Amino acid sequence: MWGAYSACRGLETWRKERESDLAKRLAAAIYQYRKSLLEITHPDVSPEERQLENGPQENLGPNYFVYWFRFGKTKVPLKAVEEILAEGELRWGSEIYRMFEPIEQTERNLLRKILATDETAYASNQERISGVHSADEFLKDLAYKKTCEAAREIQTAFRPIVDFLKGKV
């Protein structure tokens, strides 16, 4: 009888450890993805990114190509998050994907803002891109504010899933 009880307790402990390990892996992947999205909004330009700029060198702020390059770098951490989310769906159900929806919406909004910074296609993009007041406003917000509106939006979008994972670790 004590053996059966001990076995049940051991299995319960093992299940909780596996759930905790999954939550830790997802939290680490979420952190990397959030960091990559926040790097898009960083006003400084690295030497590697400087080569992407086709404008004059005295323009020290990022331009469309730099933002597009940074946005492309978010795909690797996103893939890692999606792989762990698939496993998380098996354990926690579809609620984990519902918590990820604000993050996806924020990513789409950020992409719209990046597309609006393309000066060559700005006029045609402006009609189909909703929610972007002007490319200049977005660029000034990034260049002159320590925590820009886009960064605050990113942080807010990640809050539900981070709070959920805190309870699982």
Q: Provide DSSP, 25-64.
A: HHHHHHHHHHHHHHHHT-----HHHHTT--S-TT--S--H
CA quadruple 87, 90, 94, 99: dihedral positive or negative?
negative
Residue given tokens 């929610």 in the structure block: 131
| pLDDT at site 125 | 47
List pLDDT tens digits, range 72-90: 889 999 999 999 999 988 8
Identify the residue with better confidence: 58 or 141.
Answer: 141
The answer to whether the beta carbons of residues 132 and 118 sit under 8 Å apart is: no
Measured CA to CA, the distance from residue 80 to residue 78 in angstroms comes to: 5
Query: 146: which DSSP letter?
Result: S
Residue with more model confidence, 103 or 127? 103
Orientation of helix 2-40 relative to helix 95-116, angle to 10° = 10
Report domain extents, the chain: 2-166
**Dihedral sign (CA 31, 154, 140, 72):** positive
**CA–CA dist 40, 146 (Å, integer):** 13
Altogether, the residues listed in the chain come to a count of 169
For the segment 29-55, the average pLDDT, to the nearest whole number, is 80
Q: Provide the H-helix boundaries in the chain.
A: 2-40, 47-50, 64-72, 75-92, 95-116, 122-128, 135-144, 149-166
Residue 80's pLDDT is 93
Question: Residue 93 has which token pair?
Answer: 């159900």
Please check whether residue 22 is in contact with residue 91, taking contact to mean a CB–CB distance below 8 angstroms. Answer: yes
Give the whole-number percent of the chain exceeding pLDDT 70.
Answer: 69
Q: Is the pLDDT of residue 118 over 80?
A: no
The pLDDT of 57-78, averaged and rounded, is: 76
